[in-house]
């Protein structure tokens, strides 16, 4: 069958009339191949797009990690900005778009790999394009070299601790103290397994290792730096995917809040925004996970020269900050999970907060919540797309709203 690709879907697949989904194809391209159940799994590219480049990674065809590696950086940046523009347009909103900031190759400092035992040993890698396949990724172009370096140890850990049929989720995070590893889905942590894992963690120089939430090794603090503060997040805690991406998000948020003296940081995590902003303002950080706030607070107490930072553990879906609580702030930073923050957006809309810096990893919920805020009279001043999930269809965005 010969088809012309009309657009890209939200997972980065080309879509032709039908719809027929065509992975590894770009808009405008003419492709040929067999179509089965609405999918052309192995397209031959008859007419390539000017945005097409040769994928840089030998694992690209099989691996599901980099759905857009066949597109140039400029193409991907334009497409990601368009994804946000289209989501906003669906809510009858438009904005000035700042140039997209894209993280470099080999900059991912946090990733979750899968580990499976085999008859001969173990496989560590990512799930492939076809969901039942599994791909090893030695030399992965996304991951920071410090994470690639521990892959052989992750194989050993998989051999020791994965059950015959189960699969380990191995979350590796680069920290100042060394690699921080959180494993889930493993065998029960009996004494012999504990000793063997602790020994491996020592030999590998891991900062910390946990097994289904149980600490196995705590050798050095797994420190992340947020501005002037050094924070040791709880095992497996959220962290922005790349240092460069985080720097771009923090720069945009700083710019959005300007000279605000009192700032609420909602969905604050361990202080990615709160601690750098505390260089110039008093901060109230609100977050659902008390352990993340404890890490933020400890980091603030150890740092010098920061303004006061207070913390509050609170479920912001059920108990958003209300207008009478919000009125004491000059600016609010909000960075919810993928589901967005509809309830909090409604309360923000009814507040008199002069500036809102909205950060999001989901353009659809971002646009929905933006509509709520804009409908109450806020202006959407600008939008900054940050691409820290290079070659993937994920989109990260910061926006400034003001009254």
> Would you say 268 or 370 has its CB closer to ligand SAM?
268
Count of other CB atoms within 10 angstroms of residue 130: 12
Is position 287 annotated in a ligand binding site? yes
Is position 156 annotated in a ligand binding site? no
Query: Any contact of residue 315 with ligand SAM (CB under 6 A)?
Result: yes
Among 60, 126, 206, 267, binds ligand SAM (CB under 6 A): 267
> Would you say 28 or 288 has its CB closer to ligand SAM?
288
Among 102, 210, 268, 392, binds ligand SAM (CB under 6 A): 268
R_g of the chain, CA atoms, integer Å: 23
For residue 278, which of 243, 311, 305 has the smallest C-alpha distance?
305
**Window 98-137: contact mask with ligand SAM (x via CB under 6 A):** ----------------------------------------
Query: Any contact of residue 238 with ligand SAM (CB under 6 A)?
Result: yes
**Rounded Cα–Cα distance for residues 381 and 174 (Å):** 35
Tokens found for residue 16: 């032709």
Question: Min. distance of Cβ 328 from ligand SAM in angstroms?
Answer: 20
Is position 6 annotated in a ligand binding site? no
Among 155, 171, 230, 240, binds ligand SAM (CB under 6 A): 240
**Rounded Cα–Cα distance for residues 174 and 89 (Å):** 38
**Rounded Cα–Cα distance for residues 108 and 146 (Å):** 10
Among 27, 288, 323, 354, binds ligand SAM (CB under 6 A): 288
> Would you say 268 or 392 has its CB closer to ligand SAM?
268
> H/E element holding 192?
helix 191-204
Hey, which residues between 359 and 388 contact ligand SAM (CB under 6 A)? 361
Query: Any contact of residue 290 with ligand SAM (CB under 6 A)?
Result: no
Region of 40-48, 62-70, 215-223, 283-291 interacting with ligand SAM (CB under 6 A) = 283-291
**Window 187-206: contact mask with ligand SAM (x via CB under 6 A):** --------------------
Among 13, 167, 282, 335, binds ligand SAM (CB under 6 A): 335
Among 160, 317, 346, 381, binds ligand SAM (CB under 6 A): 317
Is 361 a catalytic site residue? yes
Tokens found for residue 276: 């750098």
Residue with tokens 């150890």: 302
Among 6, 73, 289, 330, binds ligand SAM (CB under 6 A): 289
Tokens found for residue 59: 């694992």
Among 167, 180, 287, 347, binds ligand SAM (CB under 6 A): 287
**Rounded Cα–Cα distance for residues 382 and 402 (Å):** 10
Query: Any contact of residue 300 with ligand SAM (CB under 6 A)?
Result: no
Q: How many residues bind ligand SAM (CB under 6 A)?
A: 18
Compute, in degrees rounded to 10, the torsion defined by CA atoms 318, 323, 328, 331: 80
Note the maximum CA span of the chain: 66
For residue 27, which of 57, 11, 5, 45 has the smallest C-alpha distance?
5
Given the residues 66, 140, 270, 361, the one annotated as active site? 361
Q: Bridge partners of 357?
A: 333, 400
Tokens found for residue 24: 């590894």
**Sequence-ordered alpha helix ranges (H) in 137-284:** 145-148, 151-161, 191-204, 243-257, 274-277
Q: Does residue 135 contact residue 125 with C-beta atoms inside 8 Å?
A: yes
Query: Any contact of residue 97 with ligand SAM (CB under 6 A)?
Result: no
**Rounded Cα–Cα distance for residues 289 and 11 (Å):** 30
Q: Which residues contribute to the site for ligand SAM (CB under 6 A)?
A: 238, 240, 267-269, 272-273, 287-289, 292, 315-317, 335-337, 361
Residues annotated within a binding site: 240, 267, 287, 335
Q: Which residues are catalytic?
A: 361
């Amino acid at each position: 069958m010969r088809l012309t690709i009309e657009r890209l879907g939200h997972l980065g697949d080309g879509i032709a009339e039908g719809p027929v989904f065509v992975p590894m194809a770009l808009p405008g391209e003419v492709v040929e191949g067999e179509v089965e159940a609405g999918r052309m799994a192995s397209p031959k590219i008859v007419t390539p797009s000017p945005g097409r480049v040769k994928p840089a990674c030998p694992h690209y065809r099989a691996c599901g990690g980099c759905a857009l590696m066949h597109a140039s950086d400029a193409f991907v940046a334009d497409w990601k900005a368009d994804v946000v523009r289209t989501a906003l347009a669906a809510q009858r909103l438009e904005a000035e778009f700042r140039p997209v900031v894209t993280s470099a190759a080999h900059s991912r400092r946090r990733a979750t790999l899968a580990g499976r035992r085999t008859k001969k040993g173990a496989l560590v890698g990512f799930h492939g394009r076809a969901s039942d396949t599994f791909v090893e990724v030695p030399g992965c172009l996304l991951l920071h070299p410090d994470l690639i370096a521990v892959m052989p140890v992750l194989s050993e850990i998989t051999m020791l601790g994965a059950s015959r049929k189960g699969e380990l989720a191995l979350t590796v995070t680069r920290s100042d103290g060394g690699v921080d590893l959180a494993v889930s889905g493993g065998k029960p942590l009996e004494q012999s397994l504990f000793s063997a894992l602790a020994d491996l963690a020592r030999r590998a120089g891991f900062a910390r290792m946990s097994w289904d939430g149980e600490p196995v090794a705590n050798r050095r603090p797994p420190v992340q730096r947020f501005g002037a503060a050094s924070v040791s997040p709880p095992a497996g805690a959220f962290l922005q995917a790349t240092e460069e991406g985080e720097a771009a998000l923090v720069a945009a948020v700083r710019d959005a809040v300007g000279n605000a003296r009192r700032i609420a940081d909602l969905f604050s995590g361990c202080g990615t925004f709160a601690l750098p902003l505390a260089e110039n303002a008093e901060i109230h950080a609100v977050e659902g996970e008390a352990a993340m706030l404890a890490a933020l607070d400890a980091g603030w107490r150890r740092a010098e020269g920061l303004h006061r930072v207070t913390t509050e553990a609170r479920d912001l879906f059920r108990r958003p900050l209300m207008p009478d609580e919000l009125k004491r702030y000059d600016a609010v930073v909000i960075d919810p999970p993928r589901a967005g923050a509809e309830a909090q957006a409604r309360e923000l809309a009814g507040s008199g907060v002069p500036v809102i810096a909205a950060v999001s990893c989901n353009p659809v919920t971002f646009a929905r919540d933006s509509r709520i805020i804009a409908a109450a009279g806020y202006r959407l001043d600008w939008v900054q797309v940050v691409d820290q999930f290079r070659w993937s269809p994920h989109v990260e965005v910061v926006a400034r709203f003001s009254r």
